[in-house]
Amino acid sequence: MPVESPHPVPGANGLFALDPNVAHLNHGSYGAVPLPVQRVQARLRAEQEQDPDGFFADLPDRIAQARARIATALGGRPDRLALLTNVTEGIAVALGSIPLAEGDEILVTDHGYGVVNQAAERRAVECGARVRTVRLSLHTPDLDAVREQVLAAVGERTKVAILDLVTSPTAREIADERLLADLTERGVTTVVDAAHAPGMLPVDLGQAAGGADFWVGNLHKWAFAPRAGAVLAVRGAWRSRVRPLTLSWEHDRGFPARVEWRGTADYTPWLAAPAGFSLLEQLGTERIRDHNATLAAYGQQELVERTGLRALPAMPGLAMRAVRLPPGVAESEHAAKALMVQVRRKLNTRIAVRPWAGGGALRISAQIYNRAEEYQKLAAGLGELLMR
């Protein structure tokens, strides 16, 4: 059944400072901060400069208040969450907190975020462990098949599994609750990269960390928060074992303070993050999610129909979709970046392209500032670029 482009979200017009001459179809990479949230952060920065000593003296309590508001929005408890800068940092904290011995295995997939998989490799080298990469088909739509492939790779020495809730390059689900439960039953510590979950998907961290031992989600992508902000949820006894990346004067206070405090850093993104959730609620969180998911599906449909590219499977409700590029296109990091630059220069459009053997993956995003004609223009122009 054809997908019709959705009606604009009431109140969305004029909320962003984006260049109107560029089609910003890559919200999933860096997000875009709404003007009301920018103003909240600007006031916080001005307050900080008026009295730096007083601002930093009050920060622990203010961070705790912000964390409590964020925890409410994500269905978690504030004493089981910590605020960080981004998912990459959260993964590093998790990997540094999990004891590994020589011969142990860290399980990842080839759909994982590149830097996250590199962090697993570095941690493995440090302790004599090894990384086992599960290779998943780009076109397998069956989540049960993905689950079976991951579980089949679990061995006696598998200690950790790092899995995406929604993959960055291919916009598909991997770490569902059933898979996480199966891994836990096998004694595997689970780390979930949920970079795209807050704001885009319903999140209920509840008593467990979203079913994982460590669950990390960015706030500056879909939750309208300033860059950079993220949430690390930690389950059970792991909270007392969490090792921060740097020591601080808050270290003796335990989790989450020991993870959050890093001296004279910029904490205003965290303090302004609740304003992002408030704006989501004001506009209608479900309305925004429905709009964005429908518009992303419409954009993917345009790309498939106008270019003949193949749609990659997508989890329902995602505000991101991907298509497979032809063989020989964007098969290396250099070629993927070159295509993104070409699309920007020729079509005034921002997209994400990830390299893949046999043809890269082109990902589009949808946010309330996007319009149907932007995807139409991309689809029409992309076909011409690929034929050259």
Q: What pLDDT band is residue 377 in, cutting at 50, 70 and 90?
A: very high
What is the per-residue pLDDT across 271-301, written as a single tens digit (0 to 9) for each?
Answer: 999 999 999 999 999 999 999 999 999 999 9
Q: Tell me the sheet residues that pair with 215.
A: 192, 233
For position 386, what pLDDT does the model report?
83
Residues 68-77: what's their mean pLDDT? 91
Q: CA-to-CA distance for 303 and 84, rounded, in angstroms?
A: 36
Helix (H), strand (E) counts: the chain: 12, 13
Cβ atoms 274, 70 nearer than 8 A: yes
Whether the predicted pLDDT of 388 surpasses 70: no
Q: Model's pTM, two decimal places?
A: 0.91
List of domains in the chain: 37-280 (3.40.640.10), 284-387 (3.90.1150.170)
Q: CA-to-CA distance for 80 and 359, rounded, in angstroms?
A: 42
For residue 164, give the 3-state DSSP assignment: strand
What is the per-residue pLDDT across 167-187, written as a single tens digit (0 to 9) for each?
Answer: 887 888 888 888 999 999 999
